Every structure is written in structure tokens, then in C-alpha cells.
């Protein structure tokens, strides 16, 4: 069994018995998509919600472009869309919001929430059902997706572990 590590603004597709992992999700969102029949899965670590207006050409950086790319790679690897489901993790509010000024709804302060919303929209457009999520709040998470069974283990920055 090998670990395949996915960095920020990156994605990977593999099959059982591998484990896909990504570390230090703060406001970023990890998208785990799994085909239970083929035991093929993919993990994307997105940094920002939308590619519109960005100077970056890295499709893996944005929810709106990374998810279609991940779907394409999953299908090329043999996964079938009809058997796919998603689990999403991250989207934390990592920066304190100052309620004493008009920046409380700033794009920086709300980036985690915006990332989660963009991921949900992109998955909806791909007709992929989200079956579990661990999003929001104010702490970082690391994700481990076991492709032999589809279980996603989430380790929080303060040491808690949960399975999705």
C-alpha cells in the first residue's frame, strides 16, 4: 500500500490499495471522489473558488476547474460516474473577522465558506452526490482517503480523528 500525497493546488487519481493524502487544509477544500465498484478514487486540494479573473493558469488551484479535471482523470482511469460519490473536507475560517468594520465579509475572511460553496456547485454540475463532509469551523485538517474501502480519515490540527 502506498501513500500518494496531494499538495496545495494539486490533484491525484489512484486505485486500491493506495491511500491518497493531503495535509494542512485550512480555508482550502479537499475533494475526495470515489468509485466503490472499481476502487478508483481521486483527491483534489483546491485553494480558491473560481478561476475567473485569475492570472494563474493552474486548473488544479480552483474549484470550478479542478473538479471537472479530476472527473476526467477518474473516468480515464476506469471509474464510472454512476458509482462515484464525494466527501469534502476543509473550508475553515482561518482568519479572525473584525466585526467593528466593514471588512467582516471580506473575501479573505470568508474564503473558506466561498470555497465550500464553489465545491458544492461544481460537484452538483458534475452530478456527483456529496455523502459526507467535515467543513467550516476554525481549524486545519489533514485527509487520508483509503481506496480499498473509500473511508476518509480526517485528522484535525488539535489531534482529533474522525472517519467519513
In tens, the pLDDT along 57-87 reads: 899 999 999 999 999 999 999 999 999 999 9
Q: What are the helix and strand counts (H, E) for the chain?
A: 2, 10
pLDDT at 53: 83
Q: Which domains does the chain have, with CATH numbers?
A: 3-163 (3.30.1330.200)
> What does the angle CA 42 – CA 48 – CA 49 come to, to the nearest 5 degrees?
85
Of 6, 20, 28, 122, which is the active-site residue? 28
Mean pLDDT score of the chain: 92
Is the model's pLDDT at 131 over the cut of 60? yes
State residue 157's pLDDT score.
86
The answer to whether residue 28 is catalytic is yes
pLDDT above 70 covers a percentage of the chain that reads 91
pTM of the predicted model, to two decimals?
0.91
Amino acid at each position: 500500500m502506498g501513500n500518494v500525497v496531494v499538495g496545495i493546488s494539486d490533484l491525484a487519481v489512484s486505485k486500491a490499495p493506495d491511500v491518497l493524502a493531503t495535509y494542512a487544509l485550512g480555508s482550502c477544500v479537499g475533494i475526495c471522489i470515489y468509485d466503490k465498484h472499481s476502487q478508483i478514487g481521486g483527491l483534489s486540494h483546491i485553494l480558491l473558488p473560481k478561476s475567473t479573473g485569475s492570472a494563474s493558469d493552474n486548473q488544479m488551484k480552483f474549484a470550478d476547474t479542478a473538479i471537472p479535471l479530476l472527473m476526467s482523470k477518474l473516468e480515464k482511469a476506469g471509474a464510472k460516474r454512476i458509482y462515484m460519490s464525494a466527501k469534502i473536507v476543509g473550508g475553515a475560517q482561518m482568519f479572525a473577522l473584525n466585526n467593528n468594520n466593514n471588512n467582516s465579509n471580506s473575501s479573505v475572511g470568508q474564503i473558506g465558506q466561498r470555497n465550500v460553496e464553489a465545491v458544492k456547485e461544481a460537484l452538483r454540475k458534475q452530478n456527483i452526490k456529496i455523502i459526507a463532509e467535515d467543513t467550516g469551523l476554525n481549524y486545519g485538517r489533514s485527509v487520508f482517503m483509503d481506496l480499498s474501502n473509500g473511508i476518509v480519515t480526517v485528522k484535525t490540527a488539535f489531534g482529533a480523528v474522525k472517519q467519513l
